[in-house]
């Protein structure tokens, strides 16, 4: 393949197959037969072969006594999504915050920066929070938020994670909640609402109504809200998000 047209046609074909970005610095010529490495001894099996069972994940999460230990345990978990992602997206914001936001999963920008909610949806989220006096990096815990996701690795092509994928990471998310010990939790969109409230009811019916998230460490009030990415697609529904923000604001005033 030499001509520019051939190369452009090959690129278009790859994009049609869903390869929407380059993930490696070096070019890999897949038209050449790969050199097959010699099998490794069993003791050096790849991390992906080490995906623990759900019970083991529960036990690993329970042993994490601080955020660094939890971050390391999540990064070491051999989930298949890890192989398609650049960064383990753990959290952002003030760990002393009284409000903890749980989102779905990193998108492209979050995968690149290694932080949750930094793309267009994240910018809208910051504006929504600012409208009720909250900011992710505020020093005052009463004005700060702490943000994480159910899934720490970007699903390819930003697809919605499956319920099974969410359930794999739930022990880590519950431990994360217990370590932060927020007074209030915001569930951003369908994925965290369904996973943490163990419901099949969609966000359009759950939003704006206080519910409770139960973890090994206790039960805390939570407010399901519309995801900012949804609001970017459906700006007509922003008034619903505004109503939910006011609901959150008034509960924050009660706990201050
Ligand atoms: N959407 C999410 O739910 N989380 C992110 O971190 C980014 C987009």
Kindly report, residue by residue over 122-179, the tens digit of the pLDDT.
Answer: 999 999 999 999 999 999 999 999 999 999 999 998 999 999 999 999 999 999 999 9
- Cα of 31 vs centre of ligand 1, distance in Å, is 36
Residue 148 belongs to a domain with what CATH number? 3.40.470.10
Evaluate if residue 254 carries a pLDDT over 80.
yes
Residue 76 tokens, joined: 């070491």
- Assign residue 93 a region (left: φ > 0; alpha: ψ between -120 and 50; beta: otherwise): left
Q: pTM of the prediction?
A: 0.83
Report if residue 8 sits inside a domain: no
Q: What does the pLDDT look like over 215-225, one tens digit per residue?
A: 999 999 999 99
Asked if residues 57 and 77 have their Cβ atoms less than 8 Å apart, the reply is: yes
Pocket of ligand 1 (CB under 6 A): 103-107, 110, 116-117, 121-122, 149, 188, 229
Per-residue confidence (pLDDT) for residue 52, from 0 to 100? 85
Report if residue 211 sits inside a domain: yes
Give helix then strand counts, H and E, for the chain. Answer: 10, 6
Q: Residue 182: pLDDT band by 50, 70, 90 thresholds?
A: very high
Per-residue confidence (pLDDT) for residue 4, from 0 to 100? 81
Q: What does the pLDDT look like over 58-100, one tens digit per residue?
A: 999 999 999 999 999 999 998 999 999 999 999 999 999 999 9
Residue 248 tokens, joined: 């959150």
Report if residue 79 sits inside a domain: yes
Instruction: Choose one of 93, 105, 112, 225 to mutate for the ligand 1 pocket test, by most ligand atoms within 8 angstroms of C-beta.
Output: 105
Domain extent at residue 133? 54-255
Report if residue 129 sits inside a domain: yes
Report if residue 126 sits inside a domain: yes
- Cα of 5 vs centre of ligand 1, distance in Å, is 37
Q: What does the pLDDT look like over 10-60, one tens digit per residue?
A: 777 666 655 666 665 566 666 666 665 555 544 443 455 567 888 899 999
Per-residue confidence (pLDDT) for residue 45, from 0 to 100? 39
- Cα of 42 vs centre of ligand 1, distance in Å, is 37
Residue 159 tokens, joined: 């697809």
Domain count, the chain: 1
Report if residue 1 sits inside a domain: no
Per-residue confidence (pLDDT) for residue 54, from 0 to 100? 86
- Cα of 6 vs centre of ligand 1, distance in Å, is 37
Report if residue 168 sits inside a domain: yes
* Alpha-carbon span 197 to 191, nearest angstrom: 10
CA distances to 33, 141, 198 from 100, in Å: 49, 11, 19
Report if residue 5 sits inside a domain: no
Protein residue with its CA nearest to atom 6 in ligand 1: 116
Residue 9 tokens, joined: 């046609």
């Amino acid at each position: 393949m030499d001509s520019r047209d051939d190369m452009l046609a090959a690129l278009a074909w790859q994009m049609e197959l869903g390869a929407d970005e380059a993930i490696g610095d070096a070019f890999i010529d897949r038209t050449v037969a790969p050199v097959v490495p010699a099998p490794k001894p069993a003791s050096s099996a790849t991390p992906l072969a080490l995906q623990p069972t759900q019970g083991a994940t529960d036990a690993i999460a329970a042993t994490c006594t601080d955020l660094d230990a939890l971050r390391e345990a999540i990064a070491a978990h051999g989930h298949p999504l890890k192989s398609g992602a650049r960064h383990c997206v753990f959290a952002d914001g003030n760990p002393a915050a009284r409000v903890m936001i749980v989102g779905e999963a990193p998108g492209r920008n979050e995968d690149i920066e290694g932080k949750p909610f930094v793309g267009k949806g994240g910018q809208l989220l910051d504006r929504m929070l600012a409208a009720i006096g909250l900011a992710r990096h505020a020093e005052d815990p009463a004005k700060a938020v702490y943000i994480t996701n159910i899934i720490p690795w970007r699903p390819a092509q930003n697809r919605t994670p499956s319920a099974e994928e969410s359930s794999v990471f739930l022990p880590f998310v519950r431990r994360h909640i217990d370590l932060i010990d927020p007074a209030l939790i915001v569930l951003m969109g369908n994925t965290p609402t369904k996973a943490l409230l163990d419901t099949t009811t969609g966000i359009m019916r759950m939003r704006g109504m206080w519910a409770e998230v139960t973890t090994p460490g206790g039960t805390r009030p939570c407010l399901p809200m519309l995801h900012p990415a949804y609001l970017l697609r459906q700006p007509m529904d922003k008034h619903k998000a505004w109503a939910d923000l006011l609901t959150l604001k008034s509960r924050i005033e009660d706990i201050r």
